[in-house]
Amino acid sequence: MATPAASQRPPQPPPQPSRGRPLRARTAWSGALIGVGIASFVDETVFHQLLHWHHFYDRSTPGVALVSDGLFHAFGWFAVVIGLVLVADLRHRAALVPRALVGGILAGTGAFQLYDGTVQHKLMGLHQIRYHVDLVPYDLTWNVLAVVFIGAGAGLLLGAARSPNSASGATS
Amino acid sequence: MHQQQDGRLALLAAGLALSGAVAYVLAASRLRRRGDRWSPLRDLSFTAGAAGLVAAALVAPPGGPFTAHMAQHLATGMAAPLLLVLGRPVTLALRSLPAGGHRALLAVLRSRPIGVLTRVPVAALLDVGGLWLLYRGPLFAAAHERPWLAALVQVHVFAAGLLFTSVVCALDPLPRRPGTVARSAALVGAGAAHAVLAKLLYAAPPPGTGFGAPDLAAAAELMYYGGDLVEIALAAVVGLRWYAASGRRLARERRRGARAEPPASASYGQ
């Protein structure tokens, strides 16, 4: 009795694993993690290490800003690694939504940059973007760019939420 | 006299690290002769960690006195523990020890002190809390004058680093298996505390000491960026372990799905 059932199976393709259910929200969150990581990486390498605009620690920073900065610094490295692992897992499940990923990355980058530029630099008084110059154009560029990133990311995320079948894994 | 005692303690530490590496390689080769699979990468990682400990004990790193001290601390408290833990020494010991030793090790692993120490917050607090006591309290200045206290501090830095790394990586069988979220939170929290401490050291030396400003700045940046490197490596271990577990879950779901799903014609037969 068992054998006929087994012999019926071959004509049917094995349960297709590469057509996963698109996991939009998870894709967007992994993108956001990568975005926060990218923003904190760019901040560290470009502005601290290459340009030397930011100070490592300008000695006037209050404790709360130092803690906030340290937390985001540690979280940034962690976020980029975990975000990439999540993307790998979504691809493995063929549940990645490319548009949601890009949207998440842009929104995450923008959100962190805006937080850095407003709360950390201005409200908490962490190191400034640059020293011995008029700060207004720097602050404006920094924060306007952040808002643009968030807007573009939000647009892509909305688009991904509207289009019904946008999951794609290893195959397009 | 201090110098001499320092030298003897350093030799002892180097000897212990070296014998640990020899024991590891002997146990691993015994496992392989028996036919078990044991990746040579684990041997490589463990022996590299032991070599790092030997180097930290015997070689005086370049730079100012505080920078040199910081390089030693990074090696003994972060880099070496990570390399040792990647070698899964407890797993190896459990597999290669004779029955009596195996039982004894299991008893130790299941004992109450180990159960408390391997709780995520306890391990994190011992590791980073110890650092804060050392650099923001009078401990550093006190250890500067007493070699035995300095040696004790080094042992604590290594042991706490090893404990924290084992708990975050969760590669060896620990009494409790903390979840990915708890281990991730501990990693980010400890990384943040480490970064904040590095920045504070940049501005002010440990109480009771008078290191030069350039030495202090170099040491603080070494601590900050060196800590980052190890944190990224730890995050990669946590992430890849989660990825592997998620892949196994997916494979299980597919197998179950393939079994539960009736053939297409079956529904018509009912």
* Predicted confidence (pLDDT) per residue in A81-97, tens digit: 999 999 999 998 888 88
Number of domains in chain B: 1
Q: Looking at the complex, does the CB of residue B254 fall below 8 Å from at least one CB of chain A?
A: yes
Residue B264 dihedral angles phi and psi, to the nearest 5°:
-60, -30
Preferred mutation among B196, B201, B223 to probe A, highest tally of A CBs within 10 A:
B196
Question: Which chain A residues have a beta carbon less than 8 Å from that of B187?
Answer: 74, 78
Residue A107 included in any domain:
yes
pLDDT value for A7: 44
Chain A contact present for B113, CB below 8 A = no
pLDDT tens by residue, A56-78 = 666 666 777 778 778 888 888 89
Query: Does residue A11 lie in a domain region?
Result: no
Residue B132 touches chain A, beta carbons under 8 Å: no
Number of domains in chain A: 1
How many Å apart are CA B153 and CA B65, to the nearest integer? 17
pLDDT of the residue at B97: 92
Distance from CA of B132 to the nearest CA of A (A): 14
Q: Do B188 and A74 touch (CB under 8 A)?
A: yes
pLDDT in tens, B35-66: 999 999 999 999 999 999 999 988 888 788 88
Q: pLDDT at position A102, please? A: 92
Let me know if residue B173 belongs to a domain. Answer: yes
Phi, psi of B37 (to 5 degrees): -90, 130
Which range, of A116-125, B81-90, B94-103, averages the lowest pLDDT? Answer: A116-125
Question: What is the ipTM metric for this complex?
Answer: 0.77
Within a domain: B29: no
Q: Is the pLDDT of residue B202 over 90?
A: no
Considering only residues B226 and B262, tell me which one the structure prediction assigns the higher pLDDT. B226
Instruction: Read off the amino acid at residue B238.
Output: V
Task: Let me know: does B200 contact B136? Beta carbons within 8 Å.
Answer: yes
Tell whether A64 lies on the interface with B, counting CB pairs under 8 A: no
Residue B239 at interface with chain A, using a CB cutoff of 8 Å? yes
Whether B110 maps to a domain, the answer reads yes
Say if the Cβ atoms of B192 and A89 lie within 8 Å: no
| B242 domain-assigned | yes
Look up residue B37 and give its DSSP letter: -
The residue segments making up the domain with residue A34 are 23-161
Question: A164 falls in which pLDDT band (50, 70, 90)?
Answer: low
Quick check: A76 and A36 in contact, CB under 8 A? Answer: yes
Contact A74 B236 (CB under 8 A): no
B242 close to A85: Cβ distance less than 8 angstroms: yes
Asked whether residue A37 carries a pLDDT value surpassing 60, the answer given is yes
Asked whether residue B176 is assigned to any structural domain, the reply reads yes
Sort out which chain B residues have CB atoms less than 8 A from A15's CB and list them. Answer: 254, 257-258, 261
pLDDT at position B81: 97
- CB of B210 within 8 Å of a chain A CB? The answer is no
Residue among A12, A57, A78 whose CB faces B188 most closely: A78
- Contact residues, chain B, for A5 at CB < 8 Å: 263
pLDDT of residue B102: 94
CA angle, corner B66, sides to B189 and B234, nearest 5? 30
Q: Which residue has the tokens 């400990």?
A: B53
State whether A81 and B250 contact (CB < 8 Å): no
In a domain, B212, yes or no: yes
- Res. A137 pLDDT band, cuts 50 70 90: confident
| Contact call for residues B93 and B42 (beta carbons, < 8 A) | no
Q: Judge: A82–B196 Cβ closer than 8 Å, yes or no.
A: no
Q: B146 lies in a domain?
A: yes
Measured in angstroms, the CA of A2 and the nearest CA of chain B are apart by 13
The residues in A 18-57 lying below 8 A from B, measured between CB atoms, are 56-57
28-67 of B, contacting A, C-beta below 8 A: none
Q: What is the pLDDT of residue A170?
A: 41
Whether A96 is in a domain gets the answer yes
Provide, as residue numbers in chain A, all residues whose Cβ is less than 8 Å from the Cβ of B228.
73, 77
- CA B173 from centre of chain: 15
For residue B246, give the nearest of A12, A14, A89 by CB distance: A89
Q: What is the residue range of B238's domain?
A: 62-96+106-253
Contact state of B191 with A74 under an 8 Å Cβ cutoff:
yes
In this structure, the number of other CB atoms found within 10 A of the CB of residue B185 comes to 16
The pLDDT of B195-208, averaged and rounded, is 86
Contact B198, B227 (CB under 8 A): yes
Residue of A nearest to B260 (CA): A15
Spatial CA neighbour of A84 closest among A135, A31, A6, A14: A31
A82 interface with B at CB cutoff 8 Å:
yes
Q: For B110-164, write each residue's pLDDT tens digit.
A: 999 999 999 999 999 999 999 999 998 888 888 888 888 888 999 999 999 999 9
pLDDT at position A72 = 83
The reply to whether B152 touches chain A by the CB within 8 Å rule is no
User: Are the C-beta atoms of A57 and A127 separated by less than 8 Å?
Assistant: yes
Q: A9 to chain B: which residues are within 8 Å by CB?
A: 263
Inter-chain touch B257–A77, beta carbons under 8 Å: no
Look at phi and psi of residue B206 and say left if phi exceeds 0, alpha if psi is from -120 to 50, else beta: beta
**Do the chains contact at B247 and A8, CB–CB below 8 Å?**
no
Classify residue B129: in a domain, yes or no. Answer: yes
